[in-house]
Amino acid sequence: SVLPRPVTAAPIPAAAKPRTFYVSAEVSPEIAKMRLVQIADEIVSVLTSDPKATVRLVVEISAEFPDGAGDGMRRTVSANADALGLKSADWE
């Protein structure tokens, strides 16, 4: 008599781990300082706790002025952006 073959399960491959994380948030100017610190504390610090992780932050600011931005504001913001070493700061 022939004995039935034992049933063996094929190895189950481990689920692929996610390799990338993206998030975006719109932050109210009134609470920007508090909110950005909170994001840094609760998200960025956790991501950077892995020494193999490459974490990149991009901050984008846009402002619209229905009547146009004044010369003083344009000079101040442009000078501050330059002093802070920001990548691009353009007025249209």
List pLDDT tens digits, range 19-74: 999 999 999 999 999 999 999 999 999 999 999 999 999 999 999 999 999 999 99
pLDDT for 76 beyond 70? yes
Asked whether the predicted pLDDT for residue 3 surpasses 80, the reply is: no
The tally of CA atoms less than 13 A away on the side-chain side of residue 85 is 0
With 0.75 as the threshold, say if the pTM is over it.
Answer: no
> For residues 16 and 8, which has the higher predicted lDDT (pLDDT)?
16
Q: What is the distance between the alpha carbons of residues 44 and 31, in angstroms, rounded to a whole number?
A: 18
Q: How confident is the model at residue 2 (pLDDT cuts 50, 70, 90)?
A: low
pLDDT at 11: 72
Sign of the four-CA dihedral 87, 81, 42, 63: negative
Output the furthest CA–CA distance in the chain (Å, rounded).
98
The whole-number pLDDT of residue 45 equals: 97
The three-state DSSP-derived secondary structure of 7-59 is CCCCCCCCCCCCCCCCCCCCCCHHHHHHHHHHHHHHHHHHHCCCCCCCCCCCC
Q: Assess whether pLDDT exceeds 80 at residue 12.
A: no
